[in-house]
Structure 1
Amino acid sequence: MSLLFLFLFLFFIFLQPVFSLNQEGLYLYQFKLSVDDPDSSLSSWNNRDQTPCNWSGITCHDGTNTTTTTTVTQINLSNFNIAGPLPTSILCRLTNLATLILTNNSINETLPSGISLCTSLTHLDLSQNLLTGTLPETLPLLSNLRHLDLTANNFSGSIPISFGTFQKLEVVSLVYNLLESYIPASLGNITTLRTLNLSYNPFQPSRIPPEIGNLTNLEILWLSSCNLVGVIPESFGNLKKLSVLDLSMNNLEGSIPSSLALMTSLKQIELYNNSLSGELPSGMSNLTSLRLIDVAMNRIGGVIPDELCRLPLESLNLYENRFTGELPASIADSPNLYEFKIFTNLLSGELPENLGKNGPLIWFDVSNNSFSGKIPASLCERGALEELLMIHNSFSGDIPVSLGACRTLTRFRLGFNNLSGEVPVGLWGLPHVYLLELVDNSFSGSIANTIGGAGNLSLLTISNNKFSGAIPEEIGRLVNLQEFSAGNNQFNYSLPESIVNLSQLGILDLHNNKISGELPKGIPSLKKLNELNLASNEIGGKIPEKIGSMSVLNFLDLSSNRFSGNVPMSLQNLKLNQLNLSYNLLSGEIPPLMAKDMYRDSFIGNPGLCGDLKGLCDVGGEGKSANFVWLLRAIFIIAALVFVFGVIWFYFKYKNIKKARSIDKTKWTLMSFHKLGFGEDEVLNCLDEDNVIGSGSSGKVYKVVLRNGEAVAVKKIWGGVQMEMESGDTKKKQFQDNAFDAEVETLGKIRHKNIVKLWCCCTTRDCKLLVYEYMPNGSLGDLLHSNKGGLLDWPTRYKIALDSAEGLSYLHHDCVPPIVHRDVKSNNILLDEDFSAKVADFGLAKAVESNGRGTKSMSVIAGSCGYIAPEYAYTLRVNEKSDTYSFGVVILELVTGRKPVDPEFGEKDLVMWACNTLDQKGIDHVLDSRLDSFFKEEICKVLNIGLMCTSPLPINRPAMRRVVKMLQEVGPESQSKSSQKAGKLSPYYYDDGSDHGSVA
């Protein structure tokens, strides 16, 4: 028996080390049990091991012998997909833990202040998680911490002033959080810092602390999109070790400080998208390490310094400024230059002859300047050029033959110049080019057969030139071609049969050429064709009957040709925005559904066509007799119905008049906000059901015509609970005093051309009236989403967007205190007789608190479905950026023609649908098919603005003042194109949204 006990004792003694986990392992096993691990990423963590040193993500070291692993020094669980709060009370028991990396997980709740007990930490990376709340003020107690990365969380509040007491911190990154307040000057005390990255946080408008200039060891300073204002501090000249300076996307002003030339270690300067002015500082020749400079989208002028062009630059972006003079010839000597973008300036003269000879140019854009002379033949000499954009200049001569051999090209735009001669044969067939634009030049010759090799070509626009000859059959090999625009040329012969192979073709525009023959029989098979313009040619034969099966076709112009036969009945199936079959040889009757005045000009000039339209021949005798009998019967029936309904109407009219007159007008109180030419009697006498023009959540709206002939709109809000019959259902409407008070308080003191005018208000105990200026064209939502939406062409929609933006900008930036509308939507944007837009319905408006934190949190979500900013749903706090989001949805409505919510979207809204459709199908599936493709480039720019406004992160949304500026930047170009179209009848080339003209 004693032997048995001795055996068992020895058995447990020897097995205990095998199955017992050391203390650090127990701590880590407890950590595993405290978090969610849906992917079993911690499956190797088990309690059967002696130590955790072989577990995934764990590194051990004893600090003296590298072969002995006894203590946990590093935990790296990046991308493990673990979730839950951070258990610092467990982790901080690992007394030798120096590195903790949990990036890209779902660690949530707050960062516990207990993290400061992990006193051995030197590297803390909790980036890309779901942490919320404020930054712990105790973090600087980590006296050994050198690396702190909390990027892409949801931290709010301010950066604690105590952060200035870090003793050894070298890297701090707080990018993409929700930090408010301002950048504390105390950060200038962390003299050990090498990297300071605070970008993309919604700080209050504030200046850059000059104390940042004390960080003499700083190598990287990234303060992009931090809502910075004022000037760049001169103290930055002390940052001798700084290699990267990024202050882009702020509101900085003034000139670039001359002390910049003292920062001799700079390799990268990014100051784009600010309001900087003046000239580039002198002494830039000292920056011998500089490789990238981007000061685009500012107001910087003067000449481009020669000393800048002599630096070993790799990327030079000076676009959208006010630079003048000629381009220094020294830029051609730069051996590393691969990106050169100086578009939209005031530059002139000729380009350096050797440009591209010494440097591997990849992206080259000098568009929208006044350059002249020839195109340098050496642009692709290093064989790397991908994008060549030179539109809107005065270049002359021919295209260098060398560019025809540049097989790396992907985008090639030479439109709107004075170029001539024949296009190099090789250029037509470059295999990677997807955009080839030569519009508005004087090119001659024909399209070479080599075009069959351009397998990636999507957009071919060569309108307004002198091209001639036949369109080659090889064009049918371009399976990716989406647009072929070659109007206003001299092409002849018939269309190639192979053109029916272009299954992706959306636009075919060959108007004003000399094309003859007949239409290829397979034209109706082009199911994606949206625009077919063959006007002013010599094409004959019949119009294909199956043309009505082209479901997306909305622009069809076959005028001034030699088409004969009948007009296909199937045309009635199409939803055409424009139809023109005039001046052909068509005969027979027009389709019945097209016998409308709106199509009158579509059929003139066809002597054989008959139909019930003035100017077309009459239908024969028997038909006339039958029609006359039917007409008499119809008149009798209509007269009887009119009589019956007239009696009924008179009865109810009499009751309403009697009811209106029974109101005791002496009990009404009138409060006016403008000088009035009418009294309350005129308004009260017209409040009957015949004058109702709308009904909302708070009351009905009436149109009241005054004695002087002018009209006003009157909103009537009843007190108590009102019972009303609507669509067969009984609704209860509760009177809302706060909506009335907000409307009166807001509109009573506002004077702006894009805010609806409130004339006066009338009140009694049970009823309140708001009297507004009358807007004849109603609301944008009602007009845009009705069958009259096609009446809103793009110039009108653009004007509505700009007017509305200016109204909201006034509320946000010019009212004291600022006003948040809280219910911006298309139905609250009203249109006058000239389609000028005015923002209306201020029943939910709130003033912004003076502390800049927005309005107080609301108890419920207010606003309209589809327009509510995502952060509002969980914070219930609104500010100006909430209105910006709603306005972005309105822009998407104008661009797409779709409602903010639609059963077609499923669980998505318009914003999600637009983003997904852009990614999966492209721009053509997003834009409203009723819009003229002539304006497509401008529409794409406005779409970009709408997408910026609807960014999920409020910090990424521009302020409304910036939105107005961006929309205005689109405007002059839009007017310019309109005049071009009127004068030349030539479609302006549009881009895919990724061009330099893009706003975003």
Structure 2
Amino acid sequence: MHERAVWIFLCDLGGQNMPFEGSIPVEIGNLVNLFSLGMESNFLYGSIPSSIGKLRNLYILNLSKNKLSGQIPPSIGDVTQLALLYLDGNNLGGNIPGSLAQCMGLFELNLSQNNLDGSIPVRLFADLLFAWSLDFSHNNLTGELPPVLGTYGIGSGLVSLHMEGNRFHGQIPERWHLLVSTRQINLSHNDLSGVVPKFFEQLDKLEQLDLSYNNLEGAVPASGIFTHSAAVVLDGNKGLCSNSPRLALPICPGISGSATKVKHHLSLLVTSLLIVLPPLTIGSLVLIWFMLTIWKKGSFPFSRWDLVSKMFPNRREVHTAPCHDEKKLKRVSYEDIVKATNWFSLVHTISSTCTGSVYVGRFKSDKSLVAIKVFKLNEPGGYDSYLIECEVLRSTRHRNIMRPVTLCSTLDSQNHEFKALIFEFMVNGSLEAWLHSEQHNGIPDKVLGFGQRICIAADVASALDYAHNELTPPLIHCDLKPNNVLLDDDMTARLSDFGSAKFLSPGLVIPKSLDDVGGTIGYVAPEYGMGCEISVAGDLYSFGVLLLELLTGKRPTDDMFVDGLSLCKFSESMFPDRVAEILDPHMAHEEHQGCTEAWMERYIVPLVALGLSCTMESTKDRPGMKDVCAKLSDIRASFLELS
């Protein structure tokens, strides 16, 4: 297992290879520590085995776009940790199992484009705590729409709801007025009746409403989302009318009588205000004069701050901690973290070092997975690591630098000091995991294409350029390596783990050993081993090693590098004539097929040359990160323009 968390991806099996074909084996239930199972876009057939319910630690299950048939096994409800479930694009039939309600943390559920029938279990909608995306579209579902959405009918976290292309009947439930966070609702192509509820006007975040091809009738509301004709689709409802020309519907009858009543009520309102307002205005002015007079005389029996406190009893004084802005960050409690990590379970552990451990979890008050870094304050360097990460949080803001979303600074259950930072969970893991697929227990994984590698290198260079040249004082990462480069859902690289970082201030102490610098063998600059001072050139060296690793697919600690041979010397010995021989074979036949020589000259040779220049022995011979960033940006732009 890689860092205690098991991941399996069988999506397309590497791009140009043949998709996986066959049935899901019953033995899959033996992988009890499985965290994520992705087998989408293959040719899987047969049924989903009931043994899937044994995967109690599963967070993500993606079986979409296959040829699976049969029913959804009720045992899937036993996977109570499940957060993301995608079964769309198959041939599944039967009812939706009510046992899914046991997955109370399920916040994305997609069962669309199947042959499911029957009604949706009311229990499913009533019990879901965090669901924010529900898609039941294009099935054969019947019955009335569920009267409640979310725990106790609150449903305030639901963002996207798709139920189009079924056979639902009845009216749109009034309790849906609680969908205050919803942005998309699609109920088209059903058999719904009744009126278009007025509460849709009050849903401020609603961006798209599709009620087309039903049997709705009556007047359509005129405000809110209904003022944006492009956001509302009402075609195919023959009984609807509207007094707004924007919706292109027949005019509702009785408009003149209604207008007369409105004018009459407005007239009464204006008359009432003219009678009531003058006395109120005079009284208010007298009260203000009186209060100002006694204020100046100091006649109040309490201070001015006491007066404000009494007038606004819920106001709280804000104390700003030295490492963060509480106005922007909401703290979480120790109990919240304990529950999110299942009491710091090994199954939830992503990585662990001498200064801290990182766990994956999810808070009950939120919908998203998070990475929780808990610092080992009793270990050497643990407290310093926390403080520098906080300082980085306070000082930086860049799209390619990981910043915490919140923190926890408190006492644990044993009354010991406890500190943790909470980050957004990076669904695509680390660059290390993508470059070295043997960490996935020998299961083939999607490899990085050449274009992706260029973009990742450019992202990291951009982060370092910002840290070195735009911050005052400059920030040195000191531990740049693939494990500390994380990839988000669109494969954008984020530089992480600043626990060893240093701000290059004038009073910085010159390190006496490599332990004082931090860093990892193979990536640390050679001058640090001779006691030289920390500088931006050290990060340049680490970046050069990382760039060569991206191109060759080899770690600097690979078994082949013995007797003085290193990744840098190996690459230099093949440069430039034999540089094709050092490339990672997984990407050697991708975008550049048919134009190998031109591709080598235009992209590979300049990239290897850039990596070698960054790893020069003398710090004076290394380029600056601004120049490196500019060259990589040019190479990326050139590649993307032609691809």
TM-score range, shorter chain: 0.3 to 0.5
Structure with max Cα Rg: 1
Which one has the bigger helix percentage? 2
TM-score between both structures, scaled by the size of structure 1: 0.30
* Higher RCO (CA-CA < 8 Å; seq separation 6+): 2
TM-score between both structures, scaled by the size of structure 2: 0.46
Which one has the bigger strand percentage? 1
